[in-house]
Amino acid sequence: MSVRCAVIPAAGLGTRFLPATKAVPKELLPIGDTPLLQLVIDEALGAGIDHIVVVSSRAKPGIEAYFEPSPDVINALVAQGRHELAERIRSIGSDWRATVVYQDEPRGLGHAVGCAREAVGDQPFAVMLPDELMGDSSLLAHMNGVCVSSGGSVVGLKRVPMDTVGAYGVIEPLSPVDPDGVVAIGGMVEKPDVESAPSDLIIIGRYVLTPDVFAEIETLPPGRGGEIQLTDALRIQAARSPFHGVLSDIERYDTGNPLGYLEAAVSICLRRADFGGQLAAFLDAALGAEPIGEATKHYGRLVGAAEPAEQARHTRGAASGRAIR
């Protein structure tokens, strides 16, 4: 058994990014030239996953269009000699399998995951929240391995100061965290009071779940606001079967709001070989006394012309940089 499928919930309206998201799905907003959605997909591919299931909304046709073949674009790029970029476009949804399913009404994360049941089938699968970018694929790959070895579901964890746990889902550990960062979980509490919080370990937006979670989701009663919460289904799983968390210090970006998105974009793009240096010079000038135009001229004289973008493609998986930990 291996984990070969990932579900990416992407049906939200992206109201924090209005008015941009009136026309462009938030998941397709770019980090440089790469959509947020593709960075999450690259993370999944790097962890051995080859089937991506995106839970979208019919009000966001751009999501489905992103996975459709683009022969005219590819032919135009080839004619221009831009073969590497042409191959990059061709590979979207062809070197790996992409399925788009729909959540017709916003009824919570649990309901969104449940909408993927038919596409996933009877196999373990990852759930990857696209509002969070990880520095690489290592956490997801580790979680996949723990799921396979334990036969139970796994959640990604982060340690936070105790006075902030009230904003998160917090786990109830059954054991200390082992040297590999793995901890057995007996339950979880959503947004507990600081005084009653069972730990300082919160759940982040990466899950690897066994397929029996679909049956739990199906029978859950709606909670506050009529939503079906994934945490409620996971709590049931943890009470009756092996359930673990993986604690990691992986770099993590929260792109769920405009400021977090900009921080991720700057951090990741500073690592770009084709224009990262010019961006750094611009930021230095913007934060200093030297006029921005003069600083960029100086930079250009020092390093010469920028490399073509096709000579400096991203490595698979989100680039690393300064991140929210």
pLDDT digits (tens, 9 = 90+) for 266-297: 999 999 999 999 999 999 988 885 555 554 44
Q: Which residues contact 244 (CB under 8 A, 6 or more apart)?
A: 146, 150, 152, 153, 154, 155, 182, 183, 184, 185
**Does residue 7 register a pLDDT over 60?**
yes
Residue 316 to residue 98: CA distance in whole angstroms:
17
Helices 292-303 and 276-287 pack at an angle, to 10 degrees, of 150
What's the whole-model pTM score? 0.86
Task: Give CA separation, 246 vs 50, 153, 189, 197, 252, in Å.
Answer: 22, 11, 17, 19, 14
Look at residue 296 in the predicted model and tell me its pLDDT.
46
Q: How confident is the model at residue 105 (pLDDT cuts 50, 70, 90)?
A: confident
Look at residue 305 in the predicted model and tell me its pLDDT.
39
Q: Lowest mean pLDDT: which of 92-101, 236-245, 249-258, 311-320?
A: 311-320
Cβ density class 70-79: b for 16+ within 10 Å, e for less: eeeebeebee
Average pLDDT of span 131-153: 96
DSSP string, 2-28: ---EEEEE-----GGGTTGGGTS-GGG
**Does residue 299 register a pLDDT over 50?**
no
Mean pLDDT of the chain: 88
Q: How confident is the model at residue 315 (pLDDT cuts 50, 70, 90)?
A: very low
Do 165 and 275 form a contact (C-beta atoms < 8 A)? no
Residue 141 to residue 157: CA distance in whole angstroms:
14
Q: How confident is the model at residue 95 (pLDDT cuts 50, 70, 90)?
A: confident
Look at residue 230 in the predicted model and tell me its pLDDT.
93
**Does residue 89 register a pLDDT over 80?**
yes
**Does residue 324 register a pLDDT over 50?**
no
Average pLDDT of span 165-188: 93
Size of the chain in residues: 325
The identity of residue 199, as a single letter, is S
- A 10 A CB-CB count for 207 gives 25
Ordered domains of the chain (ranges, CATH):
5-259 (3.90.550.10)
Percentage of the chain lying above the pLDDT 70 cut = 89
Residue from 240, 244, 245, 243 nearest 204 by CA: 245
Tokens 């994934």 label which residue?
230
Look at residue 301 in the predicted model and tell me its pLDDT.
40
